[in-house]
Structure 1
């Protein structure tokens, strides 16, 4: 079990390092250049590869790279590409070539999303049902640790050594996280390819969407994380408006708050094994929705650092618990035979809601202010919880 958890921790950490760095650094950089909140909100479209990755998930399930295993091969190839594009960004003058940076950021999100498909599929097949609570806590914790490195450590490093050396350092860290997957020997099962490709491409989607009461579940996925993504997008320019530097924001949101997310994810994993996925999904979602309203404190003008730290820790810790419960519920609804497709389709639905919420957050904040934006984000989360209670979403046979 320990070897599984180390492998998953390394994989989920690596893919979040560059994407978190970009998504945390660029909004603050744009705000410091006096760019509008609407423009910052449109950065949500960078998440588009994550929303559309279900389209190429069947290829990941069906084909493998010979000599490297099945999902392991895809992971290795796309993590190398992710390292290369991150390394290339180190030599971009971001003030003179901002458009090129946006293109590279899009590629980073694309490569990360493809790696994520293979990683999720590997996790579904690797973890036994009774291991999924802790496994998803490690997944959530790995994502957060990657965010600590990319959104905290490198953000602080950026203030100290500059853009180029920060990204070179980040590339080297990502290379190191490849070691566990290079040492891992994947058990590859032979999958039949006798069926027509087009039929095999669409049939898993049809099978998944034909499950009882799946439509309410998709609406839950659409809304459950939308509130978090809306609030997390706008808190960064808000803190910049309150006079915090890149280092201040990196330490508060990228290291301290994300460390709290790791601890709370592990706690959530233990609680989930005792109370069950759906019950925790409702409980943690309610708590996270209420604590999101604490972001109104800096929105109304409070700039005391101890208060801001307390607010950011509370919000991030509870959101992490809700996210962990959601990941566990999503894995329960994934058939091991079509793990990449089932899980990725659910993740894509979640990100579609996130993109819409992120883009809307810029427009709402610019017209009505930050405080009302956080109220809307909490309302979205509460609506998703209402759908869970109304739909009585069933567990699959793989629960």
Structure 2
């Protein structure tokens, strides 16, 4: 849209096409209740979503956002809806298919795949558009989705037969009744909100801090923070997933969560020292390694909290709830920096992480009992 000369106000309004990711839990019960006539309850819906994505992305290649903005908006919304729907059912499939001991590694592979996909659809697509044009770039991205189709066809079915809800009413209310019938249900929800809150709070202004607060160039930030950060996060996710098989869910959440909190202090040190490339490399690597490990454990926690009968709806609800704290606390970050400065800001983000760790410690027994679900 920017390349085509669309005005900035219209571009801003187009941000609304991302709404399906926020409200995806509204139609997740349909994917729990109804079973497509091919490939089972999960893979059948995945194929439907992927075909819709291929069609939508390819159609965007043949339209101009400047000449037909309304049509492009409809297509973009269709792609976002299909993508959010794919998220719903892939999260449910991962929850249904993985054994308890496999959840850490499965969560790590999920994080790695997600980050690589963001790199391909973000940085690589921008580079390609400069060389082969947006038309061919969109067609190439649609073509890459065929890899996903092949993976879906080859994917196994769950070992145990899972009986879906018998009615749409059960699919809507059953997940809530099932969840709130458990002990510590409300406290577990609070833990979901708090666990990565400090990490998210610091991350909301990291790029702004590196450019405005310390004086690194956008190239420095792009190369080190984005490039090294991506590699570190993937390594952290894979290492964390492997370590979880030895530590178990509770110890992993506690250890990785503590690392997440401490990693924020490395940016506080960078604010003290000033423009230091070695400190930047250390801070970025440490923060993303611990963040990747924490994300693996957190995804495993969400999977452990889902009943396979309602996994699409429960995971969609829990993951939406996990973003709730970040949505409300992130807007305050700029005001806090203005009031107390960068060093104290990152110290405060570490303090923000402590209630989640304390609550996690208090709920040890509840976390260890999650495997029964």
State the TM-score, normalized to the length of structure 1.
Answer: 0.75
Say which is worse superposed, 200-209 or 158-167, in terms of deviation.
158-167
Which of 43, 53, 70 is 1:72 aligned to?
Answer: 43
- Structure 1 residues 396 and 178: CA distance shift in structure 2, 3 A: same
Which of 278, 286, 291 is 2:258 aligned to?
Answer: 286
Q: Equivalents in 2 of 1:124, 1:103: separation in Å? A: 32
Structure 1 residue 353 corresponds to structure 2 residue 325: yes
Q: Equivalents in 1 of 2:49, 2:211: separation in Å? A: 34
Q: Equivalents in 2 of 1:95, 1:305: separation in Å? A: 42
Shift of 1:288: 0.8
Query: What does residue range 259-278 of structure 1 map to in structure 2 within 5 Å?
Result: 259-278=231-250
Which residue number corresponds to residue 187 of structure 2? 216
Structure 1 residue 142 corresponds to structure 2 residue 106: no
Task: Answer yes or no: is the 8 Å Cα contact 1:261–1:317 preserved in 2.
Answer: yes
Q: Equivalents in 2 of 1:358, 1:181: separation in Å? A: 36
- Structure 1 residues 326 and 78: CA distance shift in structure 2, 3 A: same
Task: Answer yes or no: is the 8 Å Cα contact 2:57–2:138 preserved in 1.
Answer: yes
Q: Equivalents in 2 of 1:283, 1:302: separation in Å? A: 29
Structure 1 residue 342 corresponds to structure 2 residue 314: yes
Say which is worse superposed, 222-231 or 165-174, in terms of deviation.
165-174
Which of 311, 319, 325 is 2:297 aligned to?
Answer: 325
Say which is worse superposed, 274-283 or 152-161, in terms of deviation.
152-161
Shift of 1:301: 8.6
- Structure 1 residues 383 and 315: CA distance shift in structure 2, 3 A: same
Which residue number corresponds to residue 13 of structure 1? none
Query: What does residue range 1-399 of structure 1 map to in structure 2 within 5 Å?
Result: 49-87=20-58, 108-154=79-125, 157=128, 167-184=138-155, 186=157, 191=163, 194=166, 196-239=167-210, 241=212, 242=215, 244-245=217-218, 249-296=221-268, 302-361=274-333, 364=336, 371=343, 373-392=345-364, 393-394=366-367, 395-398=369-372
Q: Equivalents in 2 of 1:227, 1:49: separation in Å? A: 26
- Structure 1 residues 379 and 110: CA distance shift in structure 2, 3 A: farther
Other structure's SS at 1:177 match: helix
- Structure 1 residues 341 and 193: CA distance shift in structure 2, 3 A: closer
**1:105-130: CA deviations, max 9, x gaps?**
66655433221111111112211222
Other structure's SS at 2:240 match: helix
- Structure 1 residues 350 and 388: CA distance shift in structure 2, 3 A: same
- Structure 1 residues 384 and 343: CA distance shift in structure 2, 3 A: same
Q: Equivalents in 1 of 2:102, 2:259: separation in Å? A: 25
Q: Equivalents in 2 of 1:331, 1:208: separation in Å? A: 13
Task: Answer yes or no: is the 8 Å Cα contact 1:152–1:250 preserved in 2.
Answer: no
Shift of 1:243: 5.7
Shift of 1:280: 1.0
Shift of 1:56: 2.1
State the TM-score, normalized to the length of structure 2.
Answer: 0.79
Shift of 1:218: 0.7
Shift of 1:383: 1.9
Q: Equivalents in 1 of 2:343, 2:65: separation in Å? A: 31
5+ residue gaps, structure 2: none
**1:314-333: CA deviations, max 9, x gaps?**
11111010111111122122
Shift of 1:85: 4.6
- Structure 1 residues 197 and 94: CA distance shift in structure 2, 3 A: closer
